[in-house]
Amino acid sequence: MITHFIFDNNLPVEIATIDTGRLFPETYKVYNETIKKYQKRIKIYFPDNEAVESMVTEKGPYSFYYSKENRLECCRIRKVEPLGRALKDKKVWISGIRADQSDERSQLDWIEYDEAKEVYKFYPLFNWSYEEVRNFIKNNNIPYNTLHDRGFVSIGCEPCTRAVKPGDDFRSGRWWWETGGLKECGLHTK
């Protein structure tokens, strides 16, 4: 949706995405459909191949199931480090975080300064509900991830994401094998 606003209005804003190497096929499809619809480039960032190779060689391809520390290591290598490169020399990071996604996220503000990343974080959809977002996407024929139609309200890597039942916490489908605690990968933590 944010990409739609930027591309549809020809705003001079770089759109970037992170390919963790563990994305769902549906995520690649929406990425491709977005490029096709708007005829604009999206800058892609991959994790450092040597770091991924070392982690998987040492611990195996599913080490994240064995401990929260292993899961956070995987997220750091596959998501946080590439985001750091994407934000290098940037002043603002526009993100789709919404207040209704979790108790932790509801405590944020629609704009804040991230001292660690030295960037302002702007959440233009912060006060939008999930239904408002879905309706806007439908009414404007915006490419979206069809996993949403199957109960995935928060989509990340496969197999770290699964569908949730209506009324369940938005983040309960992420790292579903972990009990309690903060359900974040490190991209949006202070």
Residue 14: CB atoms within 10 A of its CB come to 11
User: Three-state SS for 43?
Assistant: strand
Q: How far is CA 95 from CA 22, 58, 65, 83, 188, in A?
A: 21, 33, 28, 12, 10
Residue whose C-alpha is closest to residue 151's, from 131, 173, 129, 132: 173
Cβ neighbours of residue 122 closer than 8 Å, sequence gap 6 or more:
92, 93, 94, 95, 110, 111
Q: Which of 74, 157, 160, 185 is catalytic?
A: 185
User: Are the C-beta atoms of 122 and 111 separated by less than 8 Å?
Assistant: yes
Return the closest-CA partner of residue 127 out of 90, 96, 82: 96
* Residue 157 appears among annotated catalytic residues: no
109 C-beta neighbours (distance < 10 Å), count: 10
Query: Which is nearest to 169 in space by CA: 98, 103, 71, 95?
Result: 103
Just list the catalytic residues: 185
